[in-house]
Structure 1
């Protein structure tokens, strides 16, 4: 219903509606009783208007919808330094010499990790380090990628991935420098990410852990069935989005968090982590500092890594003794 027009009982009519004799007396009439505004009958809302999050003012706080604000929200969980690419060689076990406890672990081997490029906030909108690993024949690499590798003065790489870092301090590893296993230290926590092992087509019981249908008398040919896929009129006579059903199992990106580094072998490029790692053997693995743990006091540049001394055994000369 539209608002009603105001009731102006105490206001004088328009001057042109008054007679000429009364019109001359208007300057003598006091207009203090007349309101300075026109009242309108409407509904007063108790809800305050919401501030526009896109309105920018220098004296107001920063906007929440900008890329700078988005980076600040993720700053607490963005690693300080880059990660590495490793190959999963398999699982084994390590025994503690003091307690005798057996710990299942996975062996990861670094394969010629080198820095290919840097991503900066001014040019790309974020800070990241591009790492290349492995090797590839020149004839199997496209010309744009050959020029990209030539700019960094590194050989053609089989895998190229980015590791986002918090700020410019994470770019202290120069382009073209190689990263070894000593980038990590024994006892620190890491997160690993890889493509899981593909299982092919799987049913609901294997893929999602359904209990199946009853195995009693009268139930036939539906023991491993998943059951109903949706309601009738109650859910719109359809299958709701996200329904867990039979389908392709595995072959998806999986992240395993908070794995402890048990052993580091710089000479062989081996990093041994506690627990299991997604993917089959020889699967490429992304290894980076754990986001849910305190940041390690590891090196930020290759110059901060103390050199590892490798002792080479020297054979003692054999002295022949004369016998009488």
Structure 2
């Protein structure tokens, strides 16, 4: 499965072939460096490890510096592994080789995007699970508009069963979106424009897979 690592720049819109306005996300993808090539003989499976984004050497561990030095490159910020690399991309799977957007994707491709959603902190059930709240105040309700309401059992069990949707930490989870269309590729600027919104804040890391 070929792919590339990128950084979310922000959102914009472009006009489609029929004049429709398409909301898009702009990703700065690559150039990435191949920092490790795994094979079935040595590792038990086929995979390619890519690295993206510069990192100061003083902030990298000695092990990481040595790992990147094998690929004849400087320390990188983000590293991702792409398993089961297809045989037609074997020419790209060479240690130290630089991979760019146009080597993997073309305009019109449908791809998958993996990112980390924005963290929302501790949230109640209305925001976290779209609860409606308790409702009207005709029967003495007081300050219960955003409460979850009764959700426990009666005399049997006499407790709230596990798995109930309750208040808690929201966001900051890995999210994968499938079948996103590549609208445009600006190879000279290492930019790829993808239809729709992608998870994560601006400047967050995004992994694109074909």
Give the one of 145, 148, 163 matched to 1:223: 145
Unaligned runs of 5+ in 1: 1-78, 290-324
Compare the two structures and name the one with the higher helix fraction: 1
CA–CA distance in structure 2, aligned partners of residues 140 and 122 of structure 1: 34
Paired residues, what number?
Answer: 207
Unaligned runs of 5+ in 2: none
TM-score, normalisation: structure 1: 0.61
**Residue 167 (structure 1) shift:** 5.3
TM-score, normalisation: structure 2: 0.93
**Residue 161 (structure 1) shift:** 1.0
If asked which structure has higher relative contact order (CA below 8 Å, sep 6+), I would say: 2
Structure-2 change in CA distance of 1:149 and 1:88 (3 Å): same
**Residue 215 (structure 1) shift:** 1.9
Indicate the residue corresponding to 1:133 in structure 2: 52
CA–CA distance in structure 2, aligned partners of residues 263 and 121 of structure 1: 36
CA–CA distance in structure 2, aligned partners of residues 179 and 225 of structure 1: 51
User: What's the C-alpha RMSD, in Å, of the aligned pairs?
Assistant: 1.6
Q: Secondary structure at the match of 1:94?
A: strand
Structure-2 change in CA distance of 1:110 and 1:166 (3 Å): closer
Q: Secondary structure at the match of 1:145?
A: helix
Equivalent positions of 1:65-80 (< 5 A) are 79=1
CA–CA distance in structure 2, aligned partners of residues 127 and 180 of structure 1: 21
Equivalent positions of 1:1-324 (< 5 A) are 79=1, 82-96=2-16, 98-165=17-84, 170-173=89-92, 174-182=94-102, 183-217=104-138, 218-234=140-156, 236-289=157-210
Q: Is the Cα contact below 8 Å between 1:129 and 1:171 reproduced in 2?
A: no
Q: Secondary structure at the match of 1:121?
A: coil
